[in-house]
Structure 1
Amino acid sequence: MSWTPVRTARGTSIQPDGAREISRSLPEEAPVAMVYDGSTQAVMMATPQDIEDFATGFTLTEGFANLAEIGEIEVAMHDEGIEARMWLPEARRAALAERRRYMAGPVGCGLCGIDSLSEATRALPEVPEGARFAAGDLARSTDDLRGHQPLQDRTRAVHAAGFLRPGEGIVLAREDVGRHNALDKLIGALARAGIDPAGGAIVLTSRVSTEMVQKTVMAGCPVLVAVSAPTAHALRLAEGAGLTLAAFARGGGVDLYAHPHRVRTGESHVA
């Protein structure tokens, strides 16, 4: 089977002024298996594009390996889904055993099927000091990201994650039906392009849940910006990891929560 990110569907739209036949573009979902050394580690429903970025980002944010250890990624298409095949050093197999998951099921459910509850609140490293931003850059970031969402333009049904550089706007973005998947794809794309996440901020079209903070911190990015709210536990994790957390970035404004010292308003840093 040839997996494509968009499918066309026909239907009938019932409106107050009557009914009409319609044709709409719908985002595709495919089971994507992360396969390490011949064994499946995780299966997730995802948009079938940027699979190498997805596999790279997932491997990095789960702490399975570093970029140099990932090597070549083989993407195998099947009628049932897609495999991303990777081969890791022997020393990394213990990490795979500790973090084994089975995540086939709801789209973007980042903690579905996790074996150990302690893994859901795993200790995080401290993020580097990294980039600093004018408050206006963060306030405009989700509007900027909107211009980098061709799949959303076609389907109105996907999330995006973008990388914001100070004074440059969004320089890289990835889309997926799952918000966690979009973030993994972005982190993988940054790694494969040799772009240091410490030099910018990650911008999300979603709320900020626990795993979105975990992935951002594991990527080494010091600032996370979202269009919607953080959860209370996500905020606690951000505080502990030194991550600047900005939310409700829309309509020309932004709310600052954890570690706002990286954000400038006027002539001074936010206290």
Structure 2
Amino acid sequence: MFKKLPILRVMGDSFSEELHPVVEEVPVAVIVNGRHTLTSMTSPVMLREFVIGYLYTERIIRSLDDIESIRIEDATVSVLTKNPFEILVSKKTVLSGCGGTSSFLDSTHLPQAPQGFQISPGVIQSAVKAGLESDLHVETGGIHIVGLFDKEGVAIRIVEDIGRHNALDRLIGFSLEAGIDLSGTFIICSGRISSEIARKCLIAGIPIVASRGATTTLAVTIAKQANLTLIGFVRSNRMNIYSGAERIAGAQTLSG
């Protein structure tokens, strides 16, 4: 996930040659039914889970049963689906900094977030804190964290990547293969909650997303329309609930 590279460190008037950990970024090509579908700038780990999660959240597949085989060779992942002629996709390049792939997002066609449980603000705060204690995150300062937690606040899986959207796809792919019912879980992330994060959560059936960072107006609009609980600026004993407050114990339901 990282390599130690030579740097010249400056401390005041002093200069020193050192080795510093820098996260890896590699281009990964995804081939679906012989067609180049995606090139993603990503971290070189959990490529199988990443591709499954990506294909699922892009609605290229509807379930794991749609996949005939997955083959990973170096930085190329080849996928064969069971109904190749029914799945038409366009070639895309996903950069590590953005991760968004949809040129137009029609929020009216997104599913509603599942209902079913409440959690306390303390559970959210503890989960965010636990997720951000990743050794790689602390050591390099150049990695995003997305964590999957159950409704009791127990970590199911923590995933790291240079891009938060890629990390979420990995987590969703992992959950599909593990048979996890995501309606009883929530996710935490280290970066901004974008419309793409909200969209992927809704497609996967994740009802709550919380971040130590900010959000965007479009993400809030989508969350309100689909009743997704969206929480930002989770720090210490503070947080901002933008939508879906009824899932947070003790909170007043937000209007609009």
The TM-score, its normalising length taken from structure 2, stands at 0.91
CA distance change for structure 1 residues 95 and 258 in 2, over 3 Å: closer, same or farther?
A: farther
Q: How much has 1:118 moved relative to structure 2?
A: 3.2
Would you say how many aligned residue pairs link Structure 1 and Structure 2?
252
CA contact (8 A) 2:124 2:153 kept: no
The question of whether the paired residues in 2 share the 8 Å contact of 1:245 and 1:259 is answered with yes
Q: Distance in 1 between the 2:207 and 2:85 partners?
A: 29
Identify which of 88, 102, 124 aligns with 1:96: 88
Q: Which residue of 2 aligns with 1:109?
A: 98
The match for 2:58 is: 62
* Native 8 Å contact 1:230 1:247 kept in 2: yes
Deviation at 1:240, TM superposition (A): 1.1
Q: Residues 204, 270 of structure 1: CA spacing in aligned structure 2 closer, same or farther, 3 A cutoff?
A: same
Inter-partner Cα distance in structure 1 for 2:9 and 2:19: 10
Q: Does 1:48 align with 2:33?
A: no
How much has 1:38 moved relative to structure 2? 1.2
Distance 2:172 2:97 in 1: 16
Cα-Cα RMSD: 1.9
In the alignment, structure 1 residue 215 sits paired with structure 2 residue 222: no
Q: 1:142 aligns with which of 106, 112, 128?
A: 128
Equivalences for 1:1-271 in 2 at 5 Å?
5-65=1-61, 66-77=63-74, 82-90=75-83, 93-97=85-89, 100-104=90-94, 106-111=95-100, 117-119=103-105, 123-147=109-133, 149-265=134-250, 269-271=251-253
CA distance in 2, matches of 1:250, 1:19: 35
Task: Give the drift of 1:94.
Answer: 4.6
The amino acid across from 1:83 in the alignment is T
SS in structure 2 of the partner of residue 190 of structure 1: helix
Indicate if the aligned counterparts of 2:100 and 2:165 stay in contact, CA closer than 8 A: no
Cα distance in structure 2, aligned partners of 1:258 and 1:119: 19
Following superposition, which runs of at least 4 residues in structure 1 exceed 6 angstroms of deviation?
none
How far apart are 1:237 and its partner, in Å? 0.5
C-alpha displacement of 1:121: 5.2
- Partner-residue secondary structure (3-state), 1:48: coil
C-alpha deviation, 1:179, in angstroms? 1.0
In the TM superposition, what is the alpha-carbon distance from 1:213 to its structure 2 partner? Answer: 0.4
**What's the CA shift string for 1:49-80, capped at 9, x where partnerless?**
01111011101111111122124321110xxx
Q: Spell out, residue by residue over 1:116-175, the C-alpha distance to the aligned partner (whole angstroms, 9 max, x if none).
A: x4346572111211432111111222101123x232233220001001212233221110
Please say if residues 140 and 250 of structure 1, whose CA atoms lie closer than 8 Å, have aligned partners that are also in contact: no
Alignment gaps of 5+ in structure 2:
none
Identical-pair percentage:
27
TM superposition score normalised by structure 1:
0.87
